[in-house]
Structure 1
C-alpha cells in the first residue's frame, strides 16, 4: 500500500476518510502489469472529486503511481482512494490543504471464473438504498448500505444481491451493476436517484451503442427483471457474469452475456 506515494499502511486518524467517510474511490483490474480502462478510472476519480466539491490531487502523478503499483503484477486488484486529507474539527474542510492518495493492491478474486461457467445466484436484499440525487452515481466512501447488504448476504448461499431503492425500483447489486434483456431489447437501471455508475457499466453501454444496439435506461421494478429472458451483472473485475437464478426464478439464456463478454476482450490497458 502507498499513501501519498510512500509505501506505508498508517493513515492519520484525523484524515476525513476516517472522520466522515469523506472521499471517493475506484477499483481496477490489473493484467500483465497494465491497468484495464485506466483513463476511465482516472476520469471517474476526477469526476468524483468535482461532485464532492473536493480539491483533486495531481492526476498525472496519481496515474504514474497507479502504473508503478501495477508493474510486474500478472493479475491483481488495484484500488485508489482519494480524500481531502487531514483537517480541523467538524464537518468543514477548512485546514485540509493536501489531498490524501491511497493506492493498494489485493489478490485477484478467483471465484469469478467459476461463476462465469455456473452463473451467479442472486437474492433480493431486504436492505434498500436511500434515494439521494446529490450523491447518486458516485463511488464515494460512504458505503454503509453496501456493508449491510453484504452482511445480510453472507448469511445465505447466494453470490450477489438484487438491490432496490426506497421507492421499490431496481438499482444494482451489492458490488455490481445490472443489465437485463427482454426479447432484443436491453435494459439497465436509471441511477439518477441511487447507486453507483460503474466503469464496466459505462463501457458496456458504449459498446452496445457502437454496435447499433440500444440500451434503455429505465426505472424498472423487480417484477420486470424477473420476467426478463436474461440477466447479466458486471463490474471492473468480473467483468461480466450470467445470472442463473434470482430468488426462485431461473434463467437459462446467455445471448447477451456472450455478446458483452466479447466486448470485454477488447478493453484497452495502460
Structure 2
C-alpha cells in the first residue's frame, strides 16, 4: 500500500526530483499492533535530513498523521516514509520547488529477522567501499546506489549481512544496519562523520548504554579491530538488534551486551 501526499496511489510524477536526482530522504520503521515504533524518532530523523538538504516547506503534521493512518492498516509490518523536494527547478537548481512530496508505504515484516535473533547473523566483508562525504554523512538520503551494489554482492555470498568499509579502509556499518562491538567492558561503534547512516536504533542503543552506565566510544578503526572483540551486534529499526556469530574467519559466542540491550529495543 502506498500513499502520496495523503492519497492512495502508486504513481509519482517523472518530474519529481526524487526521480531526477534522488533529492530527498527517508526513514524505515517497524509497525507493531498497528502503531509505528518510535514514531517521534523517525520524524526527527526526517526533519534533520530535510534540514541538511536545505529542504523547506514540508507539512510535518500531515506526514505524522499519514504515518499513523498507514500503520493502522496492518498489525505487523514495515512503514517507509519518504520526503522529496517535489517537482520544479531547472537542472540541478531547486528554485521553484514549492511543495515537497510525502510518500508513505506499507509492506510485510521480514520474517527472517525472527530466525536471526535466535541463531545470530553471519557477516561477509563487502568488496564495495563507501565514499567519504561529510556533507551527507549520517543522514538517510535517497542516493542509495552504494547500498544497491553492496546488496547485490552480498546475495552472492550466502551471508546474512555485509560488513562495509569506507574508501580509507575504516569500519563504517553494514548494508542496512549499524554496527557495535564489545571488548571486555568497553563498547565501540564506528564514527560516522565521513560516511554511513546514523540509524534511529543506533541512537537508541547509545542512549541505553549511557542510561546503564556502560562506557562506549565512537572510533575510526580498521576491520582488524573486530579480531579482538568479545561480542558483535548489528541493529536497525526493523531487526531491531541481532547478535553476530561470525565475520569472515572470526567467531563470536558471547551475548552479554545483546541480553542487556535487546529487551529495551
TM-score range for the pair, normalised by the shorter chain length: over 0.9
Q: CA deviation at 1:60?
A: 1.4
Instruction: Provide the residue aligned with 1:68 in structure 2.
Output: 69
**How much does 1:74 deviate?**
1.3
Partners of 1:46 and 1:56 within 8 A in 2? no
Question: CA shift at 1:72, angstroms?
Answer: 4.0
Q: 1:98 and 1:30, CA in 2 relative to 1: closer, same or farther beyond 3 A?
A: same
TM-score, length of structure 2 as denominator length: 0.98
Deviates more, 1:166-175 or 1:221-230: 221-230
Query: What is the match of residue 147 of structure 2?
Result: 146
1:220, CA displacement in angstroms? 2.0
Q: Distance in 2 between matches of 1:234 and 1:88?
A: 38
Tell me the equivalent position of 2:47: 46
Where do residues 209-224 of structure 1 align in structure 2 (5 Å cutoff)? 209-224=210-225
The secondary structure found in structure 1 opposite 2:187 is: strand
SS class of match (1:82) = strand
Unaligned runs of 5+ in 1: 265-270
Question: Secondary structure of 1:188's match?
Answer: strand
Are 2:254 and 1:253 equivalent residues in the alignment? yes
**Alignment correspondent of 2:17:** 16
Write out aligned runs for 1:216-255 (5 A).
216-255=217-256
Which sections of structure 2, spanning at least 5 residues, go unmatched?
none
Aligned-pair CA distance for 1:227: 2.0
Per-residue deviation, 1:214: 1.7
Is the 1:132–1:194 Cα contact (8 Å) retained in structure 2? yes
Decide which moves more: 238-247 or 251-260. Answer: 251-260
SS in 1 for 2:139: coil
Structure 2 partner of 1:157: 158
Classify the secondary structure of the residue corresponding to 2:259.
helix
What does the per-residue CA deviation read over 1:130-175, in whole Å, with 9 as the maximum and x for residues that have no partner? 1110000000000000000000001111000110001111000000
Partner of 1:97: 98
Residues 188-241 of structure 1, C-alpha deviation per residue, up to 9 Å, x if partnerless?
000001000000000010011011112111112100013201100000000000
Indicate the RMSD between aligned Cα atoms, in angstroms.
Answer: 0.8
Question: How far 1:56 sits from its partner (Å)?
Answer: 4.3
8 A contact 1:32–1:72 mirrored in 2? no
- Paired residues of 1:123 and 1:158 also in contact (CA < 8 A): yes
Does the 8 Å CA contact 1:125/1:161 hold for their aligned counterparts?
Answer: yes
SS in 2 for 1:102: strand
Q: Which runs of 4+ in 1 moved over 3 A?
A: none
Partner secondary structure for residue 147 of structure 1: helix
CA distance in 2, matches of 1:181, 1:47: 29
Residue aligning to 1:180? 181
Matched-pair contact (CA < 8 Å) for 2:191–2:220: yes
2:19 and 2:173 map into 1 onto residues whose CA distance is: 26
Taking the aligned partners of 1:221 and 1:263, their CA distance within structure 2 comes to 30
Q: Please give the residue correspondences for 1:20-39 in structure 2 after superposition, counting only pairs within 5 Å.
A: 20-39=21-40
